[in-house]
């Protein structure tokens, strides 16, 4: 029985490979995510949470913002249970006097809610800077 199933799976695998070779791979138009980051690294910040535990094994969340080109930590703060309002306030504190990046990368966490997006869009002089979610960046080829 094992040899018969191996024979069937081998046939199926070869058939799939045969037809996949015939399908041309579609390349996305425009630049890739990797090229974008290389070209604009000086104006890109990334923010995320890091979960740590204290001495009594209670969870703490460290929110941090990093500049991609220099890998310099722009802002760090810790909270037990961060909310959207708290994260928006941290973004305000990290961008005093109009010191904002051109692009901000975030993941698709619920903590980055409507208040955070509003602060990100209204911070900075003149034109608002863009907020990109990580799930969008993963759909682009690297």
For 112-137, the pLDDT digits (tens) are 888 988 888 787 544 445 555 544 44
Class of domain 33-139: alpha beta
Q: pLDDT tens digits, residue range 19-55? A: 766 666 677 677 787 888 888 888 888 999 999 999 9
Residue 88's closest CA among 136, 122, 60? 122
Residue 102's closest CA among 42, 47, 32? 42
CA 46 distance to own-chain centroid: 7
Q: pLDDT tens digits, residue range 49-65? A: 999 999 999 999 999 99
| pTM for the predicted model, two decimal places | 0.67
């Amino acid at each position: 029985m094992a040899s018969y199933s191996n024979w069937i799976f081998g046939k199926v695998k070869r058939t799939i490979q045969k037809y996949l070779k015939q399908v041309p791979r579609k390349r996305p138009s425009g630049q890739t995510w990797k090229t974008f980051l290389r070209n604009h690294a000086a104006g890109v910040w990334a923010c995320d949470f890091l979960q740590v535990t204290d001495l009594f094994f209670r969870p703490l969340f460290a929110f941090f913002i990093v500049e991609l080109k220099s890998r310099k930590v722009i802002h760090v703060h810790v909270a037990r249970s961060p909310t959207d309002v708290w994260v928006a306030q941290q973004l305000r504190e990290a961008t005093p006097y109009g010191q904002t990046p051109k692009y901000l990368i975030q993941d698709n966490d619920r903590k980055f809610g409507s208040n955070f997006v509003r602060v990100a869009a209204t911070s900075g002089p003149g034109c608002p800077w863009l907020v990109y979610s990580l799930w969008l960046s993963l759909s682009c080829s690297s």
